[in-house]
Structure 1
């Protein structure tokens, strides 16, 4: 390793980077609360590193402080920010106390070194007063492995401690609950002692009552939020959280432990089988009785059975999240189509399937199944829109009045635009948050607050700053894109006249007038309109329409759905990319293509075989070597 005094010497790229004056340093400080006995250890480490940087005459460009485990980079927001700033050229040197302060995973250590090298930065370990150099890779790698083993042993000790506590609970001897998070409905008054928070408990009981009355969890979440009910941290309680709370035995005072366990090797939490769970009765004062909770859960279960997927009969003709919800019907079995999705390889595509086929499968495996075709959402939308446009072409010409009315509304919106005032207000708010963050850091340095408090407040401030910055960026982009009022209006007019936006809006309006779309196995699509709704829309655009002269066929459209092979489309796209690469770089190795194309080796191999078979490429080998030239045979 180089000593700390040689930080500006050397003729390497990194050395030339550091030759700039003054040298900028990014300081990373970390400790784990499970490992450090001293509550102020992190504050001491942070102050110590700043003093060393100042003694060396370095400019502290950034400091990253966090209290997280070093066994993984997951949840380490400050470490991720360090990596981001490394790429943004925020500093020249990364300063750490020791390798185990940066991380305790050998794999993550080598990934960090790779990042360091890519960005021509240097690593200074102030406990050893040395710079890391490539010659130290073996020694530092061993240190990282030792640190990882230390963490592994520590994890085993913690796990053994948990197991001992759990075993005592199995023997009904009691050993403490070791609850680390606040629980809605209770307040912790001392270790393992909880009392009911009456205000939260009242909301908890109200949620049970709503669930018993047949309300869904989304409805419960919305009603509770409207009534001012918030979580311990002051945030909205989601539908998923309410569901967990109503289902949890904790509601009647029973705690369940040993449900999950951390696997150090995989760095993941694994769910244990229910037979290994430990139930601790009367661990908490109950908010509702066990009998009442079981009664409510029984009601919920009964509703779920009544509305199970295969027997879902609710009329969906006028409801749904999507334009086609409740409109597509199977011509074979009469069931409604449901929206699903599948991966095409390039992207995830929405698809509509007969609900009978989804619930019971195809007839080959179940006589009660259905064999009707599936519909790619993008394709069926195009078919419906094209058919509507052809049938009711009188709608698609009288656009000028609509454009003029739209521009009049836009002009009014521009006059009422408060974005500039909002931008000034947001920037002032951002300055206030930045000052708060500096004050918070000073309090940490003065030991006014502990590291855990600092972490909590700092994360919240960081979240607020990120949200404000995003809003400011959006407003600034909006202002810079359309700085001039007239230019903005001209751009909108051109878009409306040439972009087809008006036609698309009309077509979308037409789709809302559809009663049902009947899907046949041969791809035939029969579109049936609601007579009253369609006439109401058509008369807006074409006053010459006389209702008495229209027959039933006017309200019915027949179209053809042609299935598109998504996988064939993907193959064609990849094949064209391969041809383009061969044209530009005929000496490229086939083994380098997967990374450039973002596909597997086998996929590339199949594409090359296909292109050779079609006579579109050939490879001329250079003697007996592995080198050669790709030739694209143009038609």
Structure 2
């Protein structure tokens, strides 16, 4: 008789895979002892028995049974076959319809010889065993979450043990770069991922960066020294469906010594993330944030609430204009087009009019930049002193000399001072003429990026009558296209 064997282990851990190898040896010995021809051993590795659709080898067994490759399927135990009573009975019935018997060796049962009542009873026991296991696992995870268990892999850190992390300096620099590109330059997750890949950076697992990987960095409070556990819980052990738990059921653990960015930087990232999600009006579905062009995401249709998209047309000359994305797709009646060159000129002229003494204002800006450059050496030495001070307090806390509250207070104070100094640090030494030339270039909108425009312009609206309003941070300005 030709037989097939099925075995399964629920995790891919080494000891479980050893168990899988033992199960295979058991079936080979069983076939030799009973004079059967063992056609194949179907083995699922690291797969739960509660969901049949995820078990590729089991699905292959059913397909081969339909082709009549064997007459008998042997399984060591019912729990290895399925821990879901419904799936268990459906699989047994499917094999019976194909004329294939299923034999469970530890229970000494054959599917063709036993009533469905007995099979259902044993299947229900296997499912209840799975339910009890799920409850024990859930309890253990909750207990570890209360103690502050850390993830197995977390970019920017080395895992010391189940509850301790240390900062990885090289990866920490990338994390700071991600926050700087997002908060300071206004780039989106997709663009940031492209830049990181272009620079040759890879994730913790050696994979290319993706927008979702960047998003996880930006939304993980661990990077500002605050570990949050127990955020999700398995709602149904049979389907594996998870649900997000409310904040009051999550576990919060202050870990200031793990901070890579400041709490203020993290809060700014969350604020920007919420603002970018509100590309359309509150009662409209959100659009995708973009920072590709000067006015990406800033021009909003007053009729449908969708963003304007940038268009170029070249005949004798190149024309760059903005129009409602909804109208472009046939979803909105707003046919207003805004010429980009005219829009830039209107904003530039309005800003110039707001400066009453232009020459005096430019001189003040130049003087402030020069003062900033002259302070650079002193700032470098103070930054070094703050770094040594931070290390000293961390050693005091590690040796149990000061409590956690005092460490947190001191680190926050040091970090605040470091942030202020970093903002003031100078790059290259430049003379007054160079600074003035760069300032005048900015005033002509030369070299400005979308993030620079967003600091000045809150939003721009345009209706179907062609009325365009520019909302600045301190008020609004009417501009007719």
Does 2:50 match 1:67? no
Aligned-residue offset at 1:315: 4.1
Q: Which of 15, 18, 23 matches 1:40?
A: 18
Is the Cα–Cα contact under 8 Å of residues 231 and 250 in structure 2 kept in the other structure?
yes
**Pairwise CA distance, 1:222:** 1.5
Candidates 112, 116, 119, aligned match of 1:137: 116
The alpha carbon displacement at 1:144 in A equals: 0.7
Q: CA deviation at 1:335?
A: 7.3
Mapped partners of 1:28, 1:284: distance in 2: 50
Aligned residues of 1:335 and 1:355 also touching (Cα < 8 A): no
Pair 1:278-2:251 in alignment = yes
2:195 maps to 223
TM alignment of 1:612-631, pairs within 5 A: none
- Are the counterparts in 2 of residues 187 and 197 from structure 1 also a CA contact under 8 Å? yes
- The partner residue of 2:186 within 203, 214, 232 is 214
C-alpha distance 224-118 of structure 1, shift in aligned 2 (>3 A): farther
Residues 223, 260 of structure 2: 8 Å contact kept: yes
Q: Give the aligned partner of residue 236 of structure 2.
A: 264
Change (3 A) 1:148 1:208: same
**Is contact 1:252–1:287 with CA below 8 Å preserved after alignment?**
yes
- The equivalent residue for 1:631 is none
1:135: how far off?
Answer: 3.2
2:308–2:322 CA contact under 8 A, matched in 1: no
What's the secondary structure of 1:202's corresponding residue? Answer: helix
CA distance in 2, matches of 1:58, 1:283: 64
Q: Structure 1-normalised TM-score?
A: 0.43
Tell me if structure 2 keeps the 8 A contact 1:94–1:124.
yes
Q: C-alpha displacement at 1:165, in angstroms?
A: 4.5
Deviation per residue, 1:447-488 (Å, 9 max, x gap): xxxxxxxxxxxxxxxxxxxxxxxxxxxxxxxxxxxxxxxxxx
**RMSD between aligned residues:** 3.6
Note if contact 1:32-1:70 (Cα within 8 Å) is conserved in structure 2. yes
Aligned equivalents of 1:355, 1:92: Cα separation in 2: 68
Q: Spell out the pairing of 1:541-552 with structure 2 (5 A cutoff).
A: none
* Secondary structure, aligned partner of 2:206: coil
Tell me the CA shift for residue 36 of structure 1: 11
Is the 2:17–2:45 contact (alpha carbons within 8 Å) kept by the matching residues of 1? no
CA drift of 1:101 comes to 0.8
Q: Is residue 50–residue 238 contact of structure 2 (8 Å, CA) maintained in 1?
A: no
> Take 2:14 and 2:205, find their aligned partners in 1: how far apart are those partners?
26
Give the match's secondary structure for 2:331: strand
- Counterpart CA distance in 1 for 2:50 and 2:211 is 33
Pick aligned residue for 2:327 from 326, 334, 337: 337
Contact kept, 8 Å, 1:66 with 1:78, in 2: the verdict is no
CA-to-partner distance for each residue in 1:52-78, whole Å, 9 max, x for gaps?
233333133343231332222354333
Equivalence map 1:603-614=2 (5 Å): none
How much does 1:100 deviate?
Answer: 0.6
Change (3 A) 1:193 1:353: same
User: 2: distance between equivalents of 1:80 and 1:65?
Assistant: 10
- Alpha-carbon displacement from aligned partner over 1:433-457 (angstroms, at most 9, x marks no partner): xxxxxxxxxxxxxxxxxxxxxxxxx
User: What is the number of residues matched between the two proteins?
Assistant: 305
Contact 2:306–2:325 (8 Å) recurs in 1: no
| Residue ranges of structure 2 left out of the alignment (5+ in a row) | 280-296, 314-319, 335-463, 465-481
When residues 273 and 81 of structure 1 are mapped into structure 2, their CA distance, relative to the original with a 3 A threshold, is: farther
**Deviation sequence 1:72-124 (CA, Å, 0-9, x none):** 23543333343344445554432211111111110111221233134332223
Structure 2 contact 75–104 (Cα < 8 Å) conserved: yes
- 5 Å-filtered alignment, 1:169-180, equals 169=146, 175-177=147-149, 179=151
1:40 is paired with a residue whose SS is helix
Normalised by the size of structure 2, how large is the TM-score? 0.55
How many Å separate the matches in 1 of 2:206 and 2:69?
A: 35
- Residues 84, 126 of structure 2: 8 Å contact kept: yes
TM-fit CA distance, 1:245:
1.5
Distance 2:64 2:228 in 1: 43
Gapped runs of 5+ residues in structure 1?
A: 1-7, 9-22, 170-174, 320-325, 340-351, 357-519, 521-635
Q: Which residue of 1 aligns with 2:7?
A: 29
Preserved CA contact (<8 Å) 1:261 1:271: yes
Is 1:241 the counterpart of 2:232 in the alignment?
A: no
Residue pairs, 1:388-537, within 5 angstroms: none
1:61–1:90 Cα contact (<8 Å) kept: no
2:271 pairs with one of 275, 298, 312: 298
Q: Contact between 1:99 and 1:140, CA under 8 Å: does it hold in 2?
A: no
The superposition leaves residues 326-356 of structure 1 with CA deviations (integer Å, 9 ceiling, x where unpaired) of: 9998xxxx874365xxxxxxxxxxxx52287
**Aligned: 1:314 with 2:308:** yes
Distance in 2 separating the partners of 1:236 and 1:87: 42
Paired with 1:131 and 1:96, the residues of 2 have a C-alpha distance of 10
Q: CA deviation at 1:311?
A: 4.7
Is 2:176 aligned against 1:205?
Answer: yes
Tell me the residue number matched to 1:193.
Answer: 164
CA contact (8 A) 1:184 1:200 kept: yes
Mapped to 2, the partners of 1:58 and 1:312 lie a distance apart of: 67
Q: CA deviation at 1:148?
A: 0.8
Q: Provide the secondary structure at the position in 1 that maps to 2:159.
A: strand
Q: Structure 2 CA distance, aligned partners of 1:79 and 1:178?
A: 35
Q: Following the alignment from structure 2 to structure 1, what is the Cα–Cα distance between the partners of residues 66 and 196?
A: 45
60 and 150 in structure 1: CA distance in 2 versus 1, 3 angstrom threshold: same
Distance 1:266 1:89, change over 3 A: same
For 1:28 and 1:149, the matched residues in 2 are separated by: 21
Q: 1:252 to 1:196 in 2, by over 3 A?
A: same
1:26·1:64 contact (CA, 8 Å) conserved in 2?
Answer: no
Query: 2-side partners of 1:230 and 1:159: how far apart?
Result: 33
1:148 matches 2:127? yes
